[in-house]
A and B are shown apart, each in its own frame.
Chain A
Amino acid sequence: MLKVKDLHKKFGDLHVLKGVSLEVSKGEVVVIIGPSGSGKSTFLRCINHLEKPTSGHVFIDGVDLDAPTTNINVVREKVGMVFQQFNLFPHLTALENVSLAPEKVLKVPRAEARDRAKALLSKVGLSDKYDAYPDQLSGGQKQRVAIARALAMQPKLMLFDEPTSALDPEMIGEVLAVMRKLAEEGMTMVVVSHEMGFAREVADRVLLMADGVFVEEGPPREFFTNPKHERTRAFLSKIL
Protein backbone atom coordinates (compact mmCIF):
# COMPACT_ATOMS: atom_id res chain seq x y z
CA MET A 1 0.00 0.00 0.00
CA LEU A 2 2.58 2.52 1.17
CA LYS A 3 6.29 2.06 0.78
CA VAL A 4 8.84 4.69 1.68
CA LYS A 5 12.45 4.02 0.73
CA ASP A 6 15.47 5.80 2.16
CA LEU A 7 13.81 9.19 2.36
CA HIS A 8 15.98 12.23 2.97
CA LYS A 9 14.79 15.79 3.45
CA LYS A 10 16.99 18.81 3.88
CA PHE A 11 15.87 22.37 4.48
CA GLY A 12 19.01 24.22 3.48
CA ASP A 13 21.69 22.94 5.85
CA LEU A 14 19.16 21.36 8.15
CA HIS A 15 19.03 17.62 7.58
CA VAL A 16 15.59 16.73 8.91
CA LEU A 17 15.04 13.23 7.56
CA LYS A 18 18.11 11.05 7.36
CA GLY A 19 17.16 8.00 5.41
CA VAL A 20 13.72 6.87 6.52
CA SER A 21 12.06 3.73 5.26
CA LEU A 22 8.63 2.40 6.07
CA GLU A 23 6.20 -0.10 4.68
CA VAL A 24 2.55 -0.03 5.58
CA SER A 25 0.20 -2.70 4.34
CA LYS A 26 -3.48 -2.35 3.60
CA GLY A 27 -5.63 -1.87 6.69
CA GLU A 28 -2.68 -1.30 8.96
CA VAL A 29 -2.63 1.49 11.54
CA VAL A 30 0.80 2.90 12.23
CA VAL A 31 1.41 5.46 14.95
CA ILE A 32 4.57 7.53 14.93
CA ILE A 33 5.70 9.17 18.15
CA GLY A 34 8.81 11.10 18.98
CA PRO A 35 10.14 14.37 20.37
CA SER A 36 9.17 17.56 18.59
CA GLY A 37 11.55 18.56 15.85
CA SER A 38 12.44 14.95 15.17
CA GLY A 39 10.94 15.05 11.69
CA LYS A 40 7.59 13.29 12.22
CA SER A 41 5.48 15.92 10.52
CA THR A 42 7.99 16.40 7.75
CA PHE A 43 7.92 12.67 7.12
CA LEU A 44 4.14 12.68 6.89
CA ARG A 45 4.18 15.68 4.56
CA CYS A 46 6.71 13.95 2.33
CA ILE A 47 4.37 11.01 1.91
CA ASN A 48 1.89 13.07 -0.10
CA HIS A 49 4.61 15.40 -1.33
CA LEU A 50 3.41 18.54 0.39
CA GLU A 51 7.15 18.63 0.98
CA LYS A 52 9.30 17.34 -1.81
CA PRO A 53 11.83 14.83 -0.51
CA THR A 54 15.45 15.69 -1.19
CA SER A 55 16.09 12.07 -2.12
CA GLY A 56 14.47 8.70 -1.72
CA HIS A 57 11.22 7.29 -2.99
CA VAL A 58 7.60 7.10 -1.95
CA PHE A 59 5.40 4.44 -3.51
CA ILE A 60 1.66 4.43 -3.05
CA ASP A 61 -0.06 1.37 -4.43
CA GLY A 62 3.08 0.73 -6.40
CA VAL A 63 3.10 4.20 -7.98
CA ASP A 64 6.40 6.02 -7.59
CA LEU A 65 5.50 9.60 -6.63
CA ASP A 66 8.78 10.92 -8.00
CA ALA A 67 8.46 9.32 -11.41
CA PRO A 68 8.13 12.06 -14.04
CA THR A 69 4.96 10.44 -15.39
CA THR A 70 3.20 10.50 -12.03
CA ASN A 71 0.43 13.05 -11.63
CA ILE A 72 0.76 14.06 -8.00
CA ASN A 73 -2.81 15.39 -7.90
CA VAL A 74 -4.23 12.00 -8.80
CA VAL A 75 -2.11 10.35 -6.11
CA ARG A 76 -3.24 12.89 -3.52
CA GLU A 77 -6.89 12.09 -4.24
CA LYS A 78 -6.18 8.70 -2.74
CA VAL A 79 -4.28 10.00 0.28
CA GLY A 80 -6.33 11.90 2.82
CA MET A 81 -4.60 14.24 5.22
CA VAL A 82 -5.74 15.67 8.54
CA PHE A 83 -3.79 18.60 9.95
CA GLN A 84 -3.02 19.74 13.44
CA GLN A 85 -4.55 23.15 12.71
CA PHE A 86 -7.58 21.63 10.90
CA ASN A 87 -7.18 23.98 7.93
CA LEU A 88 -10.88 24.04 7.21
CA PHE A 89 -11.94 26.46 4.51
CA PRO A 90 -13.40 29.33 6.58
CA HIS A 91 -15.51 30.77 3.75
CA LEU A 92 -17.44 27.53 3.29
CA THR A 93 -19.96 25.72 5.48
CA ALA A 94 -19.11 22.35 6.98
CA LEU A 95 -21.08 20.70 4.20
CA GLU A 96 -19.32 22.69 1.49
CA ASN A 97 -15.95 21.94 3.04
CA VAL A 98 -16.68 18.27 2.59
CA SER A 99 -18.32 18.42 -0.84
CA LEU A 100 -15.93 20.87 -2.52
CA ALA A 101 -13.16 18.51 -3.58
CA PRO A 102 -15.41 15.66 -4.81
CA GLU A 103 -17.35 18.21 -6.83
CA LYS A 104 -14.40 20.02 -8.35
CA VAL A 105 -11.80 17.27 -8.56
CA LEU A 106 -13.84 14.13 -9.10
CA LYS A 107 -16.63 16.01 -10.93
CA VAL A 108 -19.30 14.37 -8.80
CA PRO A 109 -22.65 16.08 -9.52
CA ARG A 110 -23.43 18.70 -6.90
CA ALA A 111 -26.51 17.02 -5.41
CA GLU A 112 -24.72 13.73 -5.09
CA ALA A 113 -21.61 15.35 -3.59
CA ARG A 114 -23.78 17.09 -1.01
CA ASP A 115 -25.65 13.90 -0.15
CA ARG A 116 -22.38 12.12 0.37
CA ALA A 117 -21.06 15.00 2.44
CA LYS A 118 -24.13 14.82 4.66
CA ALA A 119 -23.62 11.10 5.16
CA LEU A 120 -19.97 11.67 6.10
CA LEU A 121 -20.77 14.49 8.50
CA SER A 122 -23.37 12.28 10.14
CA LYS A 123 -20.81 9.55 10.40
CA VAL A 124 -18.50 11.85 12.39
CA GLY A 125 -21.46 12.90 14.56
CA LEU A 126 -22.15 16.31 13.02
CA SER A 127 -25.51 15.81 11.35
CA ASP A 128 -26.73 19.01 13.01
CA LYS A 129 -23.85 21.15 11.71
CA TYR A 130 -24.18 20.98 7.93
CA ASP A 131 -24.63 24.71 7.53
CA ALA A 132 -22.29 25.88 10.26
CA TYR A 133 -19.21 27.82 9.27
CA PRO A 134 -15.88 26.72 10.77
CA ASP A 135 -15.72 29.65 13.19
CA GLN A 136 -19.02 28.49 14.67
CA LEU A 137 -17.57 25.09 15.51
CA SER A 138 -15.48 23.93 18.44
CA GLY A 139 -12.00 22.55 17.84
CA GLY A 140 -13.16 18.97 18.11
CA GLN A 141 -16.00 19.61 15.69
CA LYS A 142 -13.64 21.31 13.25
CA GLN A 143 -11.31 18.38 13.29
CA ARG A 144 -14.18 15.97 12.70
CA VAL A 145 -15.27 18.05 9.70
CA ALA A 146 -11.67 17.91 8.49
CA ILE A 147 -11.70 14.12 8.76
CA ALA A 148 -15.00 13.97 6.86
CA ARG A 149 -13.53 16.27 4.24
CA ALA A 150 -10.58 13.95 3.72
CA LEU A 151 -12.83 10.89 3.63
CA ALA A 152 -15.00 12.47 0.96
CA MET A 153 -12.30 11.72 -1.59
CA GLN A 154 -12.56 8.03 -0.65
CA PRO A 155 -8.89 7.75 0.13
CA LYS A 156 -7.06 4.46 0.48
CA LEU A 157 -4.65 5.92 2.98
CA MET A 158 -5.17 8.52 5.68
CA LEU A 159 -2.41 10.63 7.18
CA PHE A 160 -2.98 12.31 10.53
CA ASP A 161 -0.54 15.02 11.56
CA GLU A 162 -0.97 15.47 15.31
CA PRO A 163 -4.75 15.65 14.91
CA THR A 164 -5.47 16.29 18.59
CA SER A 165 -2.53 18.50 19.58
CA ALA A 166 -4.39 21.76 19.05
CA LEU A 167 -7.50 20.62 20.94
CA ASP A 168 -8.72 21.29 24.43
CA PRO A 169 -8.45 18.11 26.50
CA GLU A 170 -12.20 17.50 26.66
CA MET A 171 -12.43 17.45 22.86
CA ILE A 172 -9.66 14.99 22.20
CA GLY A 173 -11.87 11.99 22.93
CA GLU A 174 -14.45 12.75 20.26
CA VAL A 175 -11.78 12.99 17.56
CA LEU A 176 -10.02 9.85 18.68
CA ALA A 177 -13.35 8.02 18.69
CA VAL A 178 -13.84 8.90 15.03
CA MET A 179 -10.31 7.76 14.23
CA ARG A 180 -10.82 4.53 16.11
CA LYS A 181 -13.99 3.83 14.17
CA LEU A 182 -12.12 4.47 10.95
CA ALA A 183 -9.40 2.04 11.96
CA GLU A 184 -11.99 -0.61 12.78
CA GLU A 185 -13.47 -0.18 9.33
CA GLY A 186 -10.14 -1.15 7.87
CA MET A 187 -8.72 2.20 6.83
CA THR A 188 -4.98 2.28 6.35
CA MET A 189 -3.66 5.00 8.62
CA VAL A 190 -0.39 6.67 9.45
CA VAL A 191 -0.82 8.77 12.56
CA VAL A 192 1.63 11.17 14.14
CA SER A 193 0.36 11.59 17.66
CA HIS A 194 1.22 11.73 21.30
CA GLU A 195 -1.99 10.03 22.34
CA MET A 196 -0.43 6.96 23.92
CA GLY A 197 -3.81 5.50 24.80
CA PHE A 198 -4.81 5.61 21.16
CA ALA A 199 -1.48 4.12 20.10
CA ARG A 200 -1.79 1.32 22.62
CA GLU A 201 -5.33 0.37 21.71
CA VAL A 202 -5.61 1.05 18.01
CA ALA A 203 -2.16 0.86 16.47
CA ASP A 204 -0.85 -2.26 14.85
CA ARG A 205 2.62 -0.83 15.05
CA VAL A 206 4.25 2.03 16.91
CA LEU A 207 7.40 3.76 15.71
CA LEU A 208 9.67 6.17 17.50
CA MET A 209 11.29 8.82 15.39
CA ALA A 210 14.23 10.75 16.77
CA ASP A 211 16.71 12.97 14.97
CA GLY A 212 15.34 12.13 11.56
CA VAL A 213 15.40 8.33 11.75
CA PHE A 214 13.13 5.61 13.08
CA VAL A 215 14.82 4.40 16.24
CA GLU A 216 12.47 1.63 17.18
CA GLU A 217 9.32 -0.03 16.00
CA GLY A 218 7.09 -2.77 17.24
CA PRO A 219 3.60 -3.79 18.22
CA PRO A 220 2.29 -1.39 20.90
CA ARG A 221 2.34 -3.88 23.76
CA GLU A 222 5.99 -4.67 23.24
CA PHE A 223 6.91 -1.11 22.33
CA PHE A 224 5.51 0.38 25.51
CA THR A 225 6.28 -2.36 28.02
CA ASN A 226 9.60 -3.60 26.77
CA PRO A 227 11.37 -1.04 24.58
CA LYS A 228 14.71 -2.19 23.24
CA HIS A 229 16.47 1.12 22.77
CA GLU A 230 17.67 3.51 25.41
CA ARG A 231 16.35 6.41 23.30
CA THR A 232 12.85 4.93 23.41
CA ARG A 233 13.02 4.33 27.13
CA ALA A 234 14.15 7.90 27.72
CA PHE A 235 11.33 9.28 25.60
CA LEU A 236 8.65 7.09 27.13
CA SER A 237 9.75 7.89 30.65
CA LYS A 238 9.17 11.56 29.91
CA ILE A 239 5.69 11.25 28.52
CA LEU A 240 4.09 8.36 30.38
Chain B
Amino acid sequence: MVFDLEVVARYLPFLLQGVGITVEFTVVAFSAGSVLGLLLALARISKNPIFHYPAVAYIDFVRGTPLLAQIYLIHFGLPQIFGYTPVGYIDALLALTLNSTAYIAEIMRAGIESIDRGQMEAARSLGMTYVQAMRYVILPQALRRVVPPMGNEFIALLKESSLVSVIGMEDLMMRSRMMAGRSFRPFEAYFTAALIYLALTLTFSRILGWGERRLGKSAQG
Protein backbone atom coordinates (compact mmCIF):
# COMPACT_ATOMS: atom_id res chain seq x y z
CA MET B 1 0.00 0.00 0.00
CA VAL B 2 2.21 2.79 -1.25
CA PHE B 3 1.33 6.13 -2.81
CA ASP B 4 1.52 5.50 -6.53
CA LEU B 5 3.29 8.53 -7.97
CA GLU B 6 3.20 7.04 -11.42
CA VAL B 7 -0.60 7.13 -11.46
CA VAL B 8 -0.54 10.70 -10.30
CA ALA B 9 1.89 11.69 -13.01
CA ARG B 10 -0.22 9.93 -15.64
CA TYR B 11 -3.44 11.66 -14.61
CA LEU B 12 -2.05 15.06 -13.68
CA PRO B 13 -2.65 16.69 -17.08
CA PHE B 14 -6.18 15.30 -16.99
CA LEU B 15 -6.80 16.83 -13.56
CA LEU B 16 -5.23 20.15 -14.49
CA GLN B 17 -7.70 20.51 -17.34
CA GLY B 18 -10.36 20.77 -14.64
CA VAL B 19 -8.54 23.61 -12.94
CA GLY B 20 -9.51 25.89 -15.82
CA ILE B 21 -13.21 25.24 -15.20
CA THR B 22 -12.83 25.64 -11.45
CA VAL B 23 -11.05 28.97 -11.79
CA GLU B 24 -13.40 30.13 -14.52
CA PHE B 25 -16.49 29.41 -12.44
CA THR B 26 -14.97 31.06 -9.41
CA VAL B 27 -13.84 34.21 -11.20
CA VAL B 28 -17.06 34.67 -13.17
CA ALA B 29 -19.34 34.00 -10.19
CA PHE B 30 -17.23 36.23 -7.96
CA SER B 31 -17.18 39.11 -10.46
CA ALA B 32 -20.90 38.94 -11.19
CA GLY B 33 -21.60 38.38 -7.50
CA SER B 34 -19.61 41.48 -6.60
CA VAL B 35 -21.66 43.75 -8.81
CA LEU B 36 -24.97 42.15 -7.84
CA GLY B 37 -23.92 41.91 -4.20
CA LEU B 38 -23.21 45.64 -4.06
CA LEU B 39 -26.64 46.41 -5.51
CA LEU B 40 -28.24 43.94 -3.11
CA ALA B 41 -26.41 45.53 -0.17
CA LEU B 42 -27.72 48.95 -1.19
CA ALA B 43 -31.22 47.49 -1.36
CA ARG B 44 -30.72 45.87 2.02
CA ILE B 45 -29.75 49.14 3.72
CA SER B 46 -32.45 51.09 1.91
CA LYS B 47 -35.22 52.40 4.10
CA ASN B 48 -37.68 51.79 1.27
CA PRO B 49 -39.52 48.56 2.16
CA ILE B 50 -39.91 47.66 -1.51
CA PHE B 51 -36.14 47.21 -1.72
CA HIS B 52 -35.35 46.33 1.86
CA TYR B 53 -37.55 43.32 2.55
CA PRO B 54 -36.95 41.37 -0.65
CA ALA B 55 -33.22 41.88 -0.15
CA VAL B 56 -33.41 40.61 3.43
CA ALA B 57 -35.48 37.60 2.35
CA TYR B 58 -33.08 36.75 -0.47
CA ILE B 59 -29.98 37.02 1.68
CA ASP B 60 -31.53 34.96 4.48
CA PHE B 61 -32.71 32.26 2.11
CA VAL B 62 -29.42 31.88 0.27
CA ARG B 63 -27.23 32.03 3.35
CA GLY B 64 -29.55 29.77 5.31
CA THR B 65 -29.71 26.93 2.80
CA PRO B 66 -26.98 24.60 1.48
CA LEU B 67 -25.37 25.49 -1.83
CA LEU B 68 -25.92 21.89 -2.86
CA ALA B 69 -29.68 22.29 -2.37
CA GLN B 70 -29.56 25.49 -4.41
CA ILE B 71 -27.73 23.76 -7.25
CA TYR B 72 -30.30 20.94 -7.29
CA LEU B 73 -33.16 23.42 -7.15
CA ILE B 74 -31.84 25.36 -10.10
CA HIS B 75 -30.73 22.42 -12.19
CA PHE B 76 -33.52 19.94 -11.51
CA GLY B 77 -36.27 21.94 -9.82
CA LEU B 78 -36.74 24.89 -12.14
CA PRO B 79 -36.84 22.84 -15.39
CA GLN B 80 -39.64 20.75 -13.85
CA ILE B 81 -41.72 23.86 -13.10
CA PHE B 82 -41.05 25.76 -16.31
CA GLY B 83 -40.56 22.82 -18.64
CA TYR B 84 -37.25 23.52 -20.31
CA THR B 85 -34.09 21.50 -20.85
CA PRO B 86 -31.47 22.37 -18.27
CA VAL B 87 -27.95 23.35 -19.30
CA GLY B 88 -25.48 22.31 -16.62
CA TYR B 89 -22.94 24.98 -17.40
CA ILE B 90 -25.42 27.82 -17.07
CA ASP B 91 -27.07 26.35 -13.99
CA ALA B 92 -23.73 25.88 -12.27
CA LEU B 93 -22.66 29.45 -12.98
CA LEU B 94 -26.08 30.74 -11.95
CA ALA B 95 -26.07 28.84 -8.66
CA LEU B 96 -22.56 30.00 -7.74
CA THR B 97 -23.32 33.58 -8.72
CA LEU B 98 -26.61 33.76 -6.85
CA ASN B 99 -24.93 32.20 -3.84
CA SER B 100 -21.91 34.49 -3.75
CA THR B 101 -24.17 37.50 -4.36
CA ALA B 102 -25.83 36.96 -0.99
CA TYR B 103 -22.58 36.55 0.91
CA ILE B 104 -20.94 39.49 -0.85
CA ALA B 105 -24.02 41.63 -0.14
CA GLU B 106 -23.49 41.08 3.57
CA ILE B 107 -19.80 41.93 3.26
CA MET B 108 -20.64 45.12 1.36
CA ARG B 109 -23.34 46.06 3.86
CA ALA B 110 -20.94 45.66 6.76
CA GLY B 111 -18.39 47.76 4.89
CA ILE B 112 -20.86 50.55 4.16
CA GLU B 113 -22.20 50.54 7.70
CA SER B 114 -18.68 50.71 9.11
CA ILE B 115 -18.24 54.18 7.62
CA ASP B 116 -18.86 56.88 10.18
CA ARG B 117 -22.32 58.47 10.05
CA GLY B 118 -20.66 61.88 9.91
CA GLN B 119 -19.42 61.14 6.38
CA MET B 120 -22.94 60.84 5.03
CA GLU B 121 -24.02 63.89 7.01
CA ALA B 122 -21.14 65.99 5.75
CA ALA B 123 -21.86 64.94 2.17
CA ARG B 124 -25.57 65.63 2.49
CA SER B 125 -24.93 68.98 4.18
CA LEU B 126 -23.03 70.00 1.04
CA GLY B 127 -26.14 69.43 -1.03
CA MET B 128 -25.25 66.01 -2.37
CA THR B 129 -28.10 63.61 -2.96
CA TYR B 130 -28.08 60.25 -1.20
CA VAL B 131 -26.84 58.61 -4.39
CA GLN B 132 -24.03 61.14 -4.90
CA ALA B 133 -22.96 60.80 -1.27
CA MET B 134 -22.87 57.01 -1.62
CA ARG B 135 -20.97 57.12 -4.87
CA TYR B 136 -18.36 59.75 -4.12
CA VAL B 137 -17.96 59.56 -0.35
CA ILE B 138 -19.22 56.34 1.24
CA LEU B 139 -18.47 53.64 -1.33
CA PRO B 140 -14.87 54.65 -2.11
CA GLN B 141 -14.10 54.23 1.59
CA ALA B 142 -16.27 51.16 2.12
CA LEU B 143 -14.85 49.28 -0.87
CA ARG B 144 -11.34 49.61 0.51
CA ARG B 145 -12.43 48.15 3.80
CA VAL B 146 -14.11 45.11 2.27
CA VAL B 147 -11.03 43.92 0.40
CA PRO B 148 -9.92 41.43 3.10
CA PRO B 149 -13.35 39.78 3.61
CA MET B 150 -13.86 39.76 -0.14
CA GLY B 151 -10.61 37.85 -0.44
CA ASN B 152 -11.92 35.29 2.03
CA GLU B 153 -15.14 35.02 0.06
CA PHE B 154 -13.17 34.39 -3.11
CA ILE B 155 -11.26 31.55 -1.46
CA ALA B 156 -14.46 30.10 -0.02
CA LEU B 157 -16.12 30.26 -3.42
CA LEU B 158 -13.18 28.53 -5.06
CA LYS B 159 -13.65 25.58 -2.74
CA GLU B 160 -17.44 25.60 -2.85
CA SER B 161 -17.31 25.54 -6.63
CA SER B 162 -16.39 21.86 -6.33
CA LEU B 163 -20.10 21.24 -5.75
CA VAL B 164 -20.90 21.91 -9.38
CA SER B 165 -19.41 18.52 -10.10
CA VAL B 166 -22.70 17.01 -8.95
CA ILE B 167 -24.44 18.31 -12.06
CA GLY B 168 -21.73 17.04 -14.37
CA MET B 169 -19.38 19.96 -14.68
CA GLU B 170 -15.89 18.65 -15.43
CA ASP B 171 -14.14 20.79 -12.88
CA LEU B 172 -11.19 19.69 -10.80
CA MET B 173 -13.43 17.76 -8.40
CA MET B 174 -15.28 15.92 -11.13
CA ARG B 175 -12.08 14.97 -12.87
CA SER B 176 -10.59 13.61 -9.69
CA ARG B 177 -13.66 11.42 -9.32
CA MET B 178 -13.20 10.24 -12.88
CA MET B 179 -9.55 9.57 -12.20
CA ALA B 180 -10.46 7.53 -9.13
CA GLY B 181 -12.90 5.45 -11.14
CA ARG B 182 -10.58 4.82 -14.06
CA SER B 183 -7.38 4.16 -12.13
CA PHE B 184 -8.89 2.38 -9.12
CA ARG B 185 -6.61 4.62 -7.01
CA PRO B 186 -9.09 6.91 -5.18
CA PHE B 187 -6.57 8.01 -2.56
CA GLU B 188 -4.09 9.26 -5.13
CA ALA B 189 -6.90 10.87 -7.10
CA TYR B 190 -8.55 12.79 -4.27
CA PHE B 191 -5.33 13.59 -2.48
CA THR B 192 -3.85 15.08 -5.62
CA ALA B 193 -7.04 17.06 -6.23
CA ALA B 194 -6.94 18.33 -2.65
CA LEU B 195 -3.33 19.43 -3.10
CA ILE B 196 -4.20 21.27 -6.28
CA TYR B 197 -7.05 23.06 -4.46
CA LEU B 198 -4.59 23.94 -1.73
CA ALA B 199 -2.10 25.28 -4.25
CA LEU B 200 -4.85 27.39 -5.81
CA THR B 201 -6.13 28.83 -2.53
CA LEU B 202 -2.61 29.57 -1.30
CA THR B 203 -1.72 31.24 -4.57
CA PHE B 204 -4.82 33.39 -4.57
CA SER B 205 -4.50 34.36 -0.93
CA ARG B 206 -0.89 35.42 -1.60
CA ILE B 207 -2.04 37.55 -4.52
CA LEU B 208 -4.82 39.01 -2.41
CA GLY B 209 -2.49 39.69 0.49
CA TRP B 210 -0.11 41.49 -1.85
CA GLY B 211 -2.99 43.52 -3.27
CA GLU B 212 -4.18 44.39 0.24
CA ARG B 213 -0.78 45.67 1.24
CA ARG B 214 -0.54 47.81 -1.87
CA LEU B 215 -4.02 49.18 -1.24
CA GLY B 216 -3.14 49.71 2.39
CA LYS B 217 -0.24 51.86 1.36
CA SER B 218 -2.28 54.03 -0.96
CA ALA B 219 -5.35 54.18 1.26
CA GLN B 220 -5.36 57.24 3.43
CA GLY B 221 -7.15 57.79 6.67
Contact surface of A with B, Cβ cutoff 8 Å: 48, 50, 73-74, 76-77, 79-81, 83, 85, 87-91, 100-101, 104-106, 133-136, 146, 149-150, 153
Contact = CB atoms under 8 A, between A and B. Distances in A.
B13 interface: no
Determine the main DSSP class of A at the interface with B: mixed
Nearest to A77: B127
A88 B126 CA distance: 12
Contact of A149 (B126, B129, B141): B126
20 contacts: A50-B121, A50-B124, A76-B124, A81-B122, A81-B125, A85-B116, A87-B118, A87-B122, A89-B122, A90-B141, A101-B123, A101-B128, A104-B132, A106-B127, A133-B220, A133-B221, A135-B220, A135-B221, A146-B122, A149-B126
Contacts of B221: 90-91, 133-135
Interface of B: 116, 118-119, 121-129, 132, 136-137, 140-141, 144, 219-221
Contacts of A100: 126, 136-137
A91 B140 contact: yes
B119 A50 contact: no
B121 A87 contact: yes
A206 B163 CA distance: 70
A153 B127 contact: yes
A196 B70 CA distance: 66
A134 B219 CA distance: 12
A139 to B, nearest CB: 14
Contacts of B119: 87, 89
A83 B220 CA distance: 21
A104 B126 CA distance: 10
Contacts of B132: 104-105
Contacts of B140: 91
B144 A91 contact: yes
A79 B144 CA distance: 31
Contacts of B136: 100, 104
Given A91-B141, A91-B144, A135-B220, A76 B127 contact: yes
A87 B133 CA distance: 13
The 4 closest A-B pairs by CB, nearest first: A90-B221, A77-B127, A133-B220, A87-B122
A73 B144 CA distance: 28
Nearest to B121: A50
B47 to A, nearest CB: 12
Interface centre among B116, B132, B136, B144 (most CB of A within 10 A): B136
A105 B123 CA distance: 10
